Structure 1
Amino acid sequence: MSTTRTAVIALTKVDLISRDYSPDHLTLLLRGPFLAANYDTTSFAISATTGEGVDELISWIANVFSPITIIHSETPRSWWRKVCRSLLDRMAACFALPDRRLVREVDEEISEIADGADIRYLLKGNLATEWDTNLKHRLGAVNAPYDVAIHRVTPSLIVKESSACGPSERASMEYVLKHTMIPVPRVHCPDSPHLVMDYIEGEMLYECWDRLSPFMQFRIACTLRLYVRQLQTLKHECVGALQSGRAGGIFFDEGLYGPFDSVRRFRQFCELVAFEGWQPYVYAARQREAPIPPMPHSSTDWTPVFIHGDLNPSNILLSRDGTLWVVDWGEAGFYPSCIETLVMRHHEVAHEDDYPLSWKRYRHFIAGTATKEEEGFWGYFHTAIHRFRGRTV
């Protein structure tokens, strides 16, 4: 028998609360995710009068003292999905763009960057000034009140300011270079607070996608699919960024949370946040006398896999030699695999007029599909995560 301490809380007399999604009912529903996230406990709402929750509690106790090993047999549907994924992967491999990247010799240029003073001097040069102006034009941000945070300082090097770097961006880029075949710029000057990396001569997909032939667009989608599949083979026992172990990114409203001791603790936190995000929709539905939206439920596979976390056409470069590069790894880390496709979907909604349909239709092919439950769960999560800043669970 396991010696691990296991706590369970029984919430009694729940028959006294009407199941009408009133404030009292919502408070009762909140108890489960709240206790799990804050105290790592399991709770059951039970009533000796109605018998509600009793069977679930007994089953839980029995499983603690005599666990049942459940063997999940593969269903014909899951088998067919696996076959289809394999066939699509093989097709993508046939049409993916070749990797023609060349290793440039940059030692002489790196020698010009001994410290921060050298970088500040180079940022005032003509090359950096012209690059900054050109980049704002390319991004359609000429009149934006902010300056660009990425600067070309030598013919072969660019610098990303430390204020614009993710907490583990350098580590993520080095990790991907080491463990995959994905073209990622090399990083240099490990002691610099800024991110010094190779300059890639080419265009963002944001700029060139509409000029490409449908067949070339298809080949790019095939290439990206293989990139995502490579990332998904990289797994970890915990969630979050490589160095800090903290969870962040677009769905976390650019905040950082954790680190979490285990995937279970991360899931408990996410379920509490999603429930908090669901409640306002319940109140609104009650006021309109509309149907109550279902409680957030995630069918997510919570196994942490490595994701880019910000795949969009401005972070993908098509170089002059036809190689497809992926840049801006500031949001990368280990998360449930569905986050990759949901982030792409988020960009499509937030920038509806910027991304053509010919790009949007490849999202599922590139990053996979998310269930309706996953879309709802992470949508509720995203609306409420800002309330948890500074809170620990």
Structure 2
Amino acid sequence: MPHYWPDMPFDYLEWLVPVLPESWLISLYEQAKAQKTTHLHDDPYVRPVIRISDKIAVKCGHGVAPGEAATQQYAYQHLDRRVVRVPRVYRYFQVKSNSSWPIGYIFMEYIPGKTLEEVDLNNDDISKRLADIVSELATVSGGAIPGQINGGTLEGYLWGDDGTKDVFRSVDDMNHWLNRRLKLLNKEIDLRPYPLVLCHLDLCRRNIKLLDDDSLCLLDWGHSGFFPRFYEVAAAQCINDDGAYIRSLSNAVKNKANLSEDEEKCVWLILRARAASLRYIFEPRENNLRTLADIESLPPLPPLPPVEPLPHK
């Protein structure tokens, strides 16, 4: 039996979502999910997004965290709509499941349009527009804590397959995470001099909609957060998408950013730390392994693959 009245006024659902019982909203989601026409993508490796009305979409799944919803809503409130659109968040909640990992639900604005996967556009033209959007994101400053609003562990291309495991409560914590991995190359990074700004970090084509008025909308804020601005340059090289699009996007974002030599070195080091995370397991002793003596007590590891030289102006 559904947990909502049968004549639900769907035209006003955006006003009701903040106050309806969670069980009713879950029933709405499950009934819409059963109708394949409401699915907004068919990628089995991506957490599902379901349209439950003409104005509301729902993202649901393990790992849909409160920080994602809060950061998306912050972006909606602070970014210039003339440059980029962001779906408004109406409601977020978690439901405890049988596992230790709760299921998160984001009820958000549904914005009609086609993703960049569905349209035939010149990569260079769209990449220049996205580089402008990245610059707009970088005008939104964060505080002293990296990552998403409300904290939490981090997911995404730059953190390895399993994410960060630990929560970063300061830039020093992020430095520690990176330097444990960079020790394999006898390198170090210090991100303290760089302000934290809003970054999306997952600009693949399925996460970008072209709207009827020719504006662009950014979807899926699961990798987003506040980081030094060059994190967007690093992430653009790692996204899971068509090769020609990745190259075009990476070049456009990097050229627009006009990084200093020190910032380019930071990008190089971030990408090497990512490579180490994909190759080795660091987490079992992450909470306790804080000193140089601890690190040196580990058994020797095989070398990383050959690396390209550090960038120079």
Q: Do they superpose with TM above 0.5?
A: yes
2:56 is matched with 157
2:182 to 257, 274, 289: 274
Displacement of 1:116: 3.2
2 CA distance for matches of 1:315 and 1:367? 21
Partner deviation per Cα, 1:326-352 (whole Å, 9 max, x = no partner): 1111111122221111111112xx545
Q: Which amino acid aligns with 2:172?
A: R
2:254 to 351, 364, 377: 364
The answer (yes or no) to whether the contact 2:58–2:106 under 8 Å persists in 1 is yes
Closer/same/farther in 2, CA of residues 197 and 384 from structure 1, 3 Å limit: same
The answer (yes or no) to whether the contact 1:119–1:153 under 8 Å persists in 2 is no
Number of equivalences: 257
> Is 1:242–2:144 an aligned residue pair?
no
> Is 1:197–2:108 an aligned residue pair?
yes
Higher helix share: 1
Displacement of 1:237: 1.4
Q: Which amino acid aligns with 1:339?
A: Y
Displacement of 1:186: 0.8
The answer (yes or no) to whether the contact 1:123–1:153 under 8 Å persists in 2 is no
**Long gaps (5+) in structure 1:** 1-104, 279-294
Moved over 6 A (4+): none
1 CA distance for matches of 2:159 and 2:181? 10
Residue aligned with 1:159, SS: strand
**Long gaps (5+) in structure 2:** 1-9, 95-103, 291-313
Q: Which amino acid aligns with 1:274?
A: L
1:111 is matched with 16
1:229 is matched with 135
The answer (yes or no) to whether the contact 1:127–1:152 under 8 Å persists in 2 is no
Partner deviation per Cα, 1:79-130 (whole Å, 9 max, x = no partner): xxxxxxxxxxxxxxxxxxxxxxxxxx96345537642344334433488421
Residue aligned with 1:355, SS: helix
Displacement of 1:152: 0.9
2 CA distance for matches of 1:332 and 1:111? 28
Closer/same/farther in 2, CA of residues 231 and 313 from structure 1, 3 Å limit: same
TM-score (norm: length of structure 2): 0.69
1 CA distance for matches of 2:264 and 2:165? 25
2:75 is matched with 176
The 5-angstrom pairing of residues 348-359 of structure 1 reads 350-353=240-243, 355=245, 358-359=248-249
1 CA distance for matches of 2:148 and 2:34? 33
Residue aligned with 1:168, SS: helix
Q: CA RMSD in A?
A: 3.3
> Is 1:312–2:204 an aligned residue pair?
yes
Displacement of 1:250: 1.9
The 5-angstrom pairing of residues 288-299 of structure 1 reads 295-298=186-189
2:89 is matched with 187
Partner deviation per Cα, 1:27-74 (whole Å, 9 max, x = no partner): xxxxxxxxxxxxxxxxxxxxxxxxxxxxxxxxxxxxxxxxxxxxxxxx
